[in-house]
């Protein structure tokens, strides 16, 4: 006779544990753009040695991003053949979206890059190494630059956030204040359209808003 309780002795598989609900990742807070003054950039440069090879190199890199408005990835992708310092031209072959362009560089910025090229040549580095490389020819990384700039900013006593893209912001803001045509600024920055440049500039340097409010007269009584 079959045992009526036999089924109760069969080990049933345990129900799978219900996984805890996933926490939604918090969206990264985008910090507002901070534009440096020329004095602050000068202090940043002053925090670097003009005698050590790496100091000369890093001064040239900062000068190039500040005076030509390059993204850090664009600056680190340059090779000596891309520089025409005598004519103030820099050829960017690996821009955002794979687009290439030629940007301008003023004589002051070009002189600082030339100083590094001279040191670089003395170290025996040739055209097969990127412009901004280690003393044995290895490429610099964006991570290195992003770590280095904040520490330099603290050393220089700059209270603003100091980062690579901030130098690009500063370049664009200064061009706008100087009255450079919006089309030229757009080409210099490598934007796909002037509308992008207008939004970019309105975000970092709302000149029209500031001038309109400054023009109002008011005296406290």
Q: Nearest-5° angle of CA 65, CA 66, CA 67?
A: 100
Can you read off the two tokens belonging to residue 86? 């005598």
Domains in the chain, start-ordered, CATH in brackets? Answer: 38-208 (1.10.443.10)
Q: Which residues pair with residue 102 across a beta bridge?
A: 91
Show the DSSP H helices in 91-193 as ranges. Answer: 107-122, 142-155, 164-177, 182-189
Q: What is the side-by-side order of every strand in the sheet holding 89-92?
A: 83-84, 89-92, 101-104
Per-residue pLDDT of the chain (221 residues; tens, 9 = 90+): 555 545 445 555 565 566 666 666 565 556 667 899 999 999 999 999 999 999 999 999 999 999 999 999 999 999 999 999 999 999 999 778 788 999 999 999 999 999 999 999 999 999 999 999 999 999 999 999 999 999 999 999 999 999 999 999 999 999 999 999 999 999 999 998 999 999 888 888 887 788 888 888 888 88
Give CA 142 to chain center in angstroms. Answer: 9
Residues classed as catalytic: 71, 96, 165, 168, 191, 200
């Amino acid at each position: 006779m079959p045992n009526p309780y036999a089924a109760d002795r069969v080990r049933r598989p345990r129900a799978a544990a219900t996984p805890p609900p996933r926490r939604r990742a918090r969206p990264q807070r985008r910090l507002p753009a901070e534009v440096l003054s020329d004095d602050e950039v000068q202090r940043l440069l002053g925090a670097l040695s003009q005698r050590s090879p790496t100091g000369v190199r890093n001064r040239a890199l900062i000068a190039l991003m500040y005076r030509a408005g390059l993204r850090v990835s664009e600056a680190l992708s340059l090779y000596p053949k891309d520089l025409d310092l005598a004519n103030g031209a820099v050829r960017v072959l690996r821009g955002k979206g794979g687009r290439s362009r030629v940007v301008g560089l003023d004589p002051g910025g070009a002189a600082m890059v030339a100083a590094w090229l001279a040191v670089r040549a003395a170290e025996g580095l040739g055209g097969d190494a990127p412009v901004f490389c280690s003393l044995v020819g290895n490429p610099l990384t964006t991570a290195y630059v992003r770590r280095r700039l904040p520490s330099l900013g603290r050393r220089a006593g700059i209270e603003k956030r100091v980062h690579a893209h901030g130098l690009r912001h500063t370049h664009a803001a200064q061009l706008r204040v100087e009255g450079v045509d919006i089309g030229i600024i757009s080409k210099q920055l490598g934007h796909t359209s002037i509308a992008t440049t207008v939004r970019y500039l309105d975000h970092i340097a709302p000149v029209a808003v500031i001038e309109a409010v400054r023009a109002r007269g008011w005296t406290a009584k």
